Amino acid sequence: MAELNNKDNATPAKKGRTRKAAPKVDLTAMVDLAFLLITFFMLTTSLNKPNALDVAVPDKNIDEAVDMDERRIVNLIVREDSYTLIHGDISKPIRTVQHITATNQSLKDNLDEFSQYISNLTSGKKTIVLIKPTAEANTKGIIDSFDEIRSSDIKQYMLSKLSKEEEHLVNKVK
C-alpha cells in the first residue's frame, strides 16, 4: 500500500504528553487512477489513426506517355450503379467486355478472374488496373473499387481519365 508519511511536522514527545501522530495519506487509489488514465489515453490514441486513402500523384510537368503491355491492363470504368471491365485496349479488347452491377463481391470475383487470366497469359506478370470514373460515378463507388482492388491483391492500379472512346462505349451500354 502506498503511503505518504511526513515526519518533519511531528513534534518531539514531552513528558506527560502524547506525541501527535504524523498524517498518513493512502495513495493507492490515486496510483490506480493514474495508470487507468494512462492506459485509456494510450489506447485511444493508438486506435484513432487517420483512415486516409494513399494516392501517389504524378508530377504535373511531365507529359510523356508510358508504354505498358496491353495484355496486363484492365480498364475499370466506374459508373453510378455498375462497373465495366475491359481487358486491354478499348478499340481491340483481348476478352469480351464485362458489365457488372455494383456489388463488391462480384467486382472482387471478376478482378480475381482477370488477375489469374493475365498471370497465365503473361507468364506470371501482375495485373495493372486503370480506374476510370464516369461523370455520374459517386465517390463511394470509386472508393469501393479501390478497396476491392486492394483485397484482390493487385498492387498496381491508378486513377485515370475516361477517353472519348470509353465514354462512347459507356453511353452505348446505358
Q: Do 82 and 40 belong together in one domain?
A: no
**Does pTM surpass 0.75?**
no
Q: What is the CATH number of the domain that holds 85?
A: 3.30.420.40
Q: Do 78 and 139 belong together in one domain?
A: yes
Chain centroid to Cα 100, Å, comes to 24
Whether residue 57 lies inside any domain: the answer is no
Question: For the chain, where are the alpha helices, taking DSSP H only?
Answer: 28-47, 104-121, 139-151, 164-173
Tally of CB atoms within 10 A around 21 = 7
Helix (H) or strand (E) holding 78: strand 73-78
Residues of the chain with pLDDT under 70: 1-15, 48, 53, 55, 58, 102-105, 173-174
Cβ atoms of 135 and 80 within 8 Å: the answer is no
Contacts of 83 (CB under 8 A, 6+ apart): 76, 77, 99, 100, 101, 102, 107, 141, 145
Contacts of 30 (CB under 8 A, 6+ apart): none
Q: Do 37 and 79 belong together in one domain?
A: no
Please state the domain count of the chain.
2
Whether residue 133 lies inside any domain: the answer is yes
29-72: pLDDT as tens digits: 999 999 999 999 988 887 767 777 676 776 777 777 777 788 88
Whether residue 59 lies inside any domain: the answer is no
Report the alpha-carbon distance of residue 140 to residue 146 in Å, rounded.
Answer: 10
Expressed as residue numbers, the domain containing 24 is 3-8+19-47
Q: Do 166 and 126 belong together in one domain?
A: yes
Cβ atoms of 152 and 115 within 8 Å: the answer is yes
